[in-house]
Structure formats: C-alpha cells, structure tokens
C-alpha cells in the first residue's frame, strides 16, 4: 500500500534532484566543495560520489528512525550519523585512493557540514518512507554530480587543456591559469549559473 | 494510547542502539584499514627516499644531530647515500622536499617535492625535473645560489621564470637542511673529514 | 614571535579562508547584504573559531593521539563545535546582553559553517604543534573571514544600484565580485617568504 502510494513521489523526487531542484545551480547548497575541488574533473567526480554515499546512508537512517524521535534528539542523531559515515568514506579513500585523498585534503571531512545533507534530512528523509528517501538522495546526489562535473569540465579544459588528465586541446594551448586558481572557480560558477538563468528566462519568454 | 514513559524508553534505546551500531562500524573500519593507511604513507615516503638516492634498495630512518634522516643501502646492504626531508615557506604555503645526499654528504644526488601548494603553472613547476635536476650532482660545499642567465656562482641554480619566490624557497630550504647535517654526516663517516673546510 | 606573525598573516590574507579555501561561502554569499550584519556574523564566527580551534587542538593532542583514537577525530570535532556554540550562546546571553542582541541571531547558524570545522581540521593538517600556533591560526582565520565578508557586504550594497543584465543578477554577479576579490587577495601571496 505504502509502496504503491510512494512510487510516483519517489520518481518525481529523483528527477527533481537532477534538474529543477539541482543543489548546485538552483538551491546553491554545498558551495564549499563545489568551488574548492573542481579544478580537475577526477577530483570533482570523487567529491560528488563521496558526498552522494554519505547522503544516501544518512537519508536511509534518518527515514528509518527519525519519526520515532523528538526534535531535540534528531539533530544529535543526524550529526552522529553523518560524522560517522564521513569518517568511513574518508578512511576508505585514504586506504584505496591515497593520492586522491591527499588532493581532496580537508574537503572530505567538510562533507559533515555540507548543507545538502542536513537539509535533505530535515526537508525530506525525516518525513518520507524509505523508498522516497533513497530516491531523493539519489536525485540530489545526481544533481550535485552534474553541478560539480560541469565545473570540473570547464575548469580543467580551459585551465590545463585536458579532460580527466588526458590532453584534448592542441599541444600549444597555453592553458588559462586563472581557471585553475580560486578566482577561476568563482568565475566559472558565476558564468555557468548566469548562462542557465539566461536560458531559463528565454524559455519562459517563448512560452 | 500515548504513553510518555514508554516513548521515552524507546527513544533512549533507539539512540543508544544507533550509537553503538555506528561506533562498531567505526571500530571495524579502523581495525580493517589502519595498517593499510599507515602503509600507504610509509610507502610514499620510502618511494621518495629511494627516488633521490640512485642505486638505493632500502632505507632506515635514523636521527643524526636531532635531524631525521634516512640511511639508504644498496642491494649488498652497503650504505650508498642519505636522504633528508627539508621544508620552507613558499609563495602560497609550506613546501616539503626530500633531499638526497651522497654517502659522504659531499654532493646532492636528488631532489623531490613531497608537498607543495604553489601556483599551478608557475610555482608548481618546482616539481618538474628541469628545475630539480639542476641540484643533482652539485657539490654541497657552497650554498646554492639563484642566478640570472649569464651570471655565475659556485653552485648556480636558474630560477623558474615567473616563480622567483618559489625557486628561492626551494634553494633556501635545501641550503639550510644541508648546513644542518653536512658536518655531522662527514664526521660520522670519516673522522679525518672533520678538519676539512 | 615572527613565526606566529607569519601564521596570522597567512591565515588572514595569503590563504584567506573564504577567498582561497572557500570555507564559509554560504554566509559569504547569503548573509552579506548589509555591513553591520556582516560584521556581527564575522565577529561571532571569529569568536567560535578561536575557541573551538584551541579546544580541538588540545583534544587531539592530549586525548585522541595518545589513546590511538584518531578514527574518532571528525565525530569528536563536530561535537566540540556544537557544544562550543551552545555554550557561547548561553554565556553571551546571560552576561553580555547587548552583545547577544548584536550577534546572537547568527550563533545557531555557526555550527554548520564550514570555516569553523575547517579551521580545526587545518590546524591539524598544517601540523601546528603548540597551542599558541593553533590559537593564532584560528583567530586570524576568523579575522580573514570577517574581512572578506565585510568587504563583500560593502560591495553588494553598491551592486544593488548597478544595472546588471537580468540573468546575472543576484548570485552570479556576487560570484564575479568574489572572483575579483580573490584575485586581489592573490596579491598577498609571497609576503610570508624571504
């Protein structure tokens, strides 16, 4: 009964997370990793996947137990759950991808304070059933992956002329250093979200 | 009917159960991965040490005059060189290096960058062999000096164009580390070397 | 002493928390619309950063490392920060009523401010090994945060009167301004070296 009832809701949430409620471009959540680790595509994708795993685990636990708890206990349980899963993801990265773990540095533990996770726990997982919470986590992670990798692609391509470490632009392309630097992160995100706004406005105008 | 005591008990057990579950998960991960993670950073250091001393096969950490060093031995377990970590302030942040020295500490056998956060494309070119290899084979008798094209010095190093400060930071770090240990190294291996300048 | 000065300089200007580490970006883009509220936020964050930076340093140095419990580092840090925020809120409310009215509203938001957890983690990853170094780094990190957020608020007050193309109004133009600020702060690099 509840699964039949929950199915369209879950699907809608999954799709919304990728596009209409995209965490990066629409909700402007999780800006810290969005700007900090997107100077190359592999780092951006690893970060998005790590955040997605934590979000999924946190949504599952929240959806299973938070209705049993009073509000003041909830926030304690969220924090404990998120910090634990972040530690596990961080240790796994350090053990199996040490170079990537060094490159991401403090930004992996900073997933703990990523607004996406706590806001999804409050806004969705604590009120919905398990299936919907999982779909929501997957949708939001997908949207975050989309946001981070779009920045990663632009910055790596323009900054170093390569994609995923493989050179794609002609060898004499000098590389626009600014895109690898912190300033380039702000510049790229500003341009991309401005461009998206422009597209959205034009669509609205033609309708 | 809503029973406050029952609800309170259920909540406490739920929080306790969850906390123990999560702690067990953490303990499990720590137990399973601790050695592997320690091994990873150990291996990275070892690779850097063997990278800066040619013919090195294995290394042991030792402390000489309060400085951490790595004694590098070759296939036949004879000492073939030394490696020592050096660090200095770069353009952005700390730069950590590994310097390789010959058996008697008389010349540099290699230099590698362990950690740096210099500007991509400019300062981070200190990691490229074109810059690092300038140190290799030079005598440690005189401190290294940054030179412009056409200038000369006893131990010249060309700075990277556009990254004078990063280059100078590497030179300073190498010089001060060598100054710390050169005397002790020479003395330890050959007492007669002490009298030489 | 020179050492501490360099640490402070580096935390506030050369590697500014907001403009170079991107920590505390959410309040930087969200809150900073008015100068006085930006300053209040900055002061609150600096306060909490200094206290939790010092506390987590002591915790790590004298409890977690000797006991071999580094695995609990992140869990312990976030609870220290949450506790500090609660404590500071109560204390300030009780004893410094005017101060509480000035920046009390920002206090609950600080627990999830990246800059606070960030400073605790960076103290550790930059291997500072005395309490003085950790406190200096944390305090000047907060000063850097305040500086960035106040400058940004000042600029945004003027941007509100500028004729920005419609799609770029709001966040995109704020990000462009941040990019220019970040380039300006890049000029401080190299100040710490000989």
For chain A, what is the HEC assignment? CHHHHHHHHHHHHHHHHHCCCCCCCCCCCCHHHHHHCCCCHHHHHHHHHHHHHHHHHHHHHHHHHHHHCCHHHHHHHHHHHHHHHHHHHHHHHHHHCHHHHHHHHHHCHHHHHCHHHHHHHHHHHCCCCHHHHHHHHHHHHHHHHHHHHHHHHHHHHHHHCEECCEECCCCCCCCCHHHCCHHHHHHHHHHHHHHHHHHHHHHHHHC
| Interface contact B168-C190, CB threshold 8 A | no
| Interface contact B18-A81, CB threshold 8 A | yes
| Interface contact C71-B93, CB threshold 8 A | no
Residue A2 pLDDT > 50, yes or no? Answer: no
Q: What pLDDT score was predicted for residue B195?
A: 41
| B12 lies within 8 A of chain A by CB | no
Query: What pLDDT digit, counting tens, does each position of A162-194 carry?
Result: 898 888 888 888 888 889 889 999 999 999 999
Highest mean pLDDT among B181-185, C86-90, C98-102, C114-118: C114-118
Least confident of A8-17, B138-147, C94-103: C94-103
Residues of C in contact with A193 (CB under 8 A): 171-172, 175
Tokens of B100: 């390789």
Count chain A–chain C contacts defined by CB atoms under 8 A.
Answer: 111
Residues of B in contact with C72 (CB under 8 A): 26
Paired strand residues for B86: B97
Distance CA C49, CA C43 (A): 10
Distance CA C149, CA A56 (A): 33
| Interface contact A113-C114, CB threshold 8 A | yes
Nearest CA-CA partner of A132 in A22, A6, A23: A6
Higher pLDDT, C104 or C74: C74
> Among B22, B33, B44, whose Cβ lies nearest the Cβ of A84?
B22
| Interface contact C126-B94, CB threshold 8 A | yes
Distance CA A100, CA A97 (A): 5
Work out the pLDDT band at C193, boundaries 50, 70, 90.
Answer: low
Cα C180 from chain centre? 20
For tokens 């294995």, the residue is: B58
Query: What pLDDT digit, counting tens, does each position of A119-139 carry?
Result: 888 888 888 889 999 999 999
C-beta neighbour count of B16 within 10 angstroms: 10
Work out the pLDDT band at A21, boundaries 50, 70, 90.
Answer: confident
Residues of chain B with pLDDT under 50: 192-197
Q: Which residues fall within 8 angstroms of residue A114, CB to CB, at 6 or more apart?
A: A29, A30, A32, A33, A51
Residues of C in contact with A151 (CB under 8 A): none
For tokens 């999830």, the residue is: C112
Nearest CA in chain A to C75: A83
* Window 133-192 of C, Cβ < 8 Å to A: 166-168, 171-176, 178-180, 182-183, 186
Paired strand residues for B59: B72
CA distances C147 to B93, C32, C109, C157, C177, Å, are 20, 11, 19, 16, 15
Q: Describe the strand order of the beta sheet including B94-101 as a list of residue ranges.
A: B58-64, B67-73, B79-89, B94-101, B108-115
Question: What are phi and psi for residue B151, nearest 5 degrees?
Answer: -80, 160
Distance CA A71, CA A126 (A): 10
**Rg for chain B (alpha carbons), in Å?**
25
Dihedral, CA atoms, A157, A163, A168, A171, nearest 10 degrees? 70
CA distances A150 to A154, A203, B168, Å, are 6, 21, 37
C-beta neighbour count of A206 within 10 angstroms: 6
Query: What pLDDT digit, counting tens, does each position of C135-191 carry?
Result: 999 999 999 999 999 999 889 888 888 899 999 988 899 999 999 999 999 888 877
For residues C23-35, give the mean pLDDT. Answer: 77
Residue C30 pLDDT > 80, yes or no? Answer: no
Contact status, residue B193 vs residue B186, Cβ threshold 8 Å: yes
Paired strand residues for B115: B96
> Among B30, B34, B91, whose Cβ lies nearest the Cβ of C190?
B91
Mean pLDDT score across all residues of chain A: 89
A neighbours by CB contacts (3+ pairs under 8 Å): B, C
Contact status, residue A147 vs residue A25, Cβ threshold 8 Å: yes
| Interface contact B88-C193, CB threshold 8 A | yes
| Interface contact B30-C10, CB threshold 8 A | no
Residues of A in contact with B40 (CB under 8 A): 94-95, 98
| Interface contact A109-C74, CB threshold 8 A | yes
Q: What pLDDT score was predicted for residue C54?
A: 95
For C45-99, what is the HEC assignment? HHHHHHHHHHHHHHHHHHHHCCCCCHHHHHHHHHHHHHHHHHHHHHHHHHHCHHH
Q: Report the SS3 class of residue B64.
A: strand
For residues C17-21, give the mean pLDDT. Answer: 91
C-beta neighbour count of B161 within 10 angstroms: 9
Contact status, residue B165 vs residue C193, Cβ threshold 8 Å: yes
Distance CA B171, CA C118 (A): 32
* Window 33-92 of C, Cβ < 8 Å to B: 71-72, 75
Contact status, residue C48 vs residue C77, Cβ threshold 8 Å: no
**Rg for chain C (alpha carbons), in Å?**
17
Distance CA B140, CA B142 (A): 6
Q: Which residues fall within 8 angstroms of residue B140, CB to CB, at 6 or more apart?
A: B101, B105, B106, B107, B108, B178, B182
For residues A70-78, give the mean pLDDT. Answer: 83
CB-hemisphere CA count at 13 Å for B37?
Answer: 17
Distance CA A28, CA A18 (A): 13
Tokens of B142: 């005189």
Nearest CA-CA partner of C84 in C40, C120, C47, C52: C52
| Interface contact C193-B27, CB threshold 8 A | no
For tokens 């806001």, the residue is: A119
Q: What pLDDT score was predicted for residue B78?
A: 87
């Amino acid at each position: 009964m509840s699964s039949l009832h929950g199915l369209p809701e879950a699907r809608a949430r999954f799709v919304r997370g990728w596009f209409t409620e995209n965490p990066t471009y629409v909700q402007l959540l999780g800006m810290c990793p969005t700007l900090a680790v997107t100077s190359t595509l592999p780092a951006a994708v690893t970060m998005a996947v790590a955040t997605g795993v934590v979000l999924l685990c946190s949504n599952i636990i929240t959806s299973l137990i938070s209705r049993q708890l009073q509000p003041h206990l909830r926030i304690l349980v969220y924090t404990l759950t998120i910090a634990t899963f972040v530690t596990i993801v961080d240790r796994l990265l350090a053990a199996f991808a040490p170079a990537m773990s060094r490159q991401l540095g403090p930004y992996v533990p900073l997933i703990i304070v990523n607004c996406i996770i706590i806001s999804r726990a409050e806004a969705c997982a604590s009120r919905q059933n398990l299936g919907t919470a999982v779909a929501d986590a997957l949708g939001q992670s997908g949207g975050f992956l989309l946001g981070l990798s779009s920045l990663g692609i632009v910055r790596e391509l323009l900054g170093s002329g390569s994609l995923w470490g493989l050179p794609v632009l002609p060898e004499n392309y000098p590389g626009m250093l600014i895109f690898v630097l912190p300033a380039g992160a702000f510049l790229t995100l500003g341009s991309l979200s401005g461009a998206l706004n422009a597209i959205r406005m034009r669509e609205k105008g033609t309708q | 009917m809503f029973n406050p005591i029952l609800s309170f008990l259920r909540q406490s057990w739920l929080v306790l159960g969850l906390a123990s579950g999560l702690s067990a998960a953490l303990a499990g991960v720590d137990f399973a991965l601790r050695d592997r993670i320690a091994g990873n950073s150990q291996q990275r250091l070892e690779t850097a040490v063997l990278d800066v001393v040619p013919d090195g096969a294995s290394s042991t950490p030792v402390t000489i005059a309060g400085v951490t060093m790595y004694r590098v031995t070759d296939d036949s377990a004879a000492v073939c060189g030394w490696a020592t970590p050096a660090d200095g302030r770069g353009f952005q942040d700390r730069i950590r290096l590994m310097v390789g020295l010959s058996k008697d500490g008389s010349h540099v056998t290699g230099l590698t960058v362990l950690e740096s956060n210099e500007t991509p494309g400019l300062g981070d070119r200190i990691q490229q062999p074109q810059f690092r290899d300038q140190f290799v084979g030079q005598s440690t008798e005189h401190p290294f000096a940054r030179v412009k094209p056409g200038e000369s010095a006893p131990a010249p190093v060309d700075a990277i164009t556009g990254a004078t400060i990063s280059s100078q930071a590497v030179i300073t770090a190498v010089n001060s580390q060598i100054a710390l240990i050169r005397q002790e190294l020479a003395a330890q291996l050959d007492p007669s070397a002490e009298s030489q300048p | 002493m020179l050492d501490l000065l360099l640490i402070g300089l580096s935390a506030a200007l050369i590697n500014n928390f907001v403009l170079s580490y991107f920590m505390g970006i959410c309040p930087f883009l969200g809150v900073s619309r008015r100068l006085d509220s930006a300053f209040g936020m900055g002061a609150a964050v600096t306060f909490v950063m200094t206290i939790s930076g010092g506390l987590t340093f002591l915790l790590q140095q004298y409890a977690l490392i000797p006991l071999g419990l580094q695995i609990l580092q992140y869990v312990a840090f976030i609870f220290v920060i949450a506790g500090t925020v609660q404590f500071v809120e109560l204390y300030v409310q009780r004893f410094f009523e005017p101060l509480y009215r000035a920046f009390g509203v920002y206090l609950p938001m600080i627990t999830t401010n990246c800059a606070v957890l960030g400073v605790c983690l960076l103290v550790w990853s930059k291997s500072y090994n005395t309490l003085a170094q950790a406190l200096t780094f944390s305090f000047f990190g907060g000063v850097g945060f305040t500086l960035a957020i106040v400058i940004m608020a000042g600029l945004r007050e003027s941007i509100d009167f500028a004729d920005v193309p419609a799609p770029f109004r709001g966040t995109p133009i704020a990000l462009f301004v941040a990019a220019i600020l970040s380039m300006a702060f890049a000029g401080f690099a190299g100040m710490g070296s000989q």
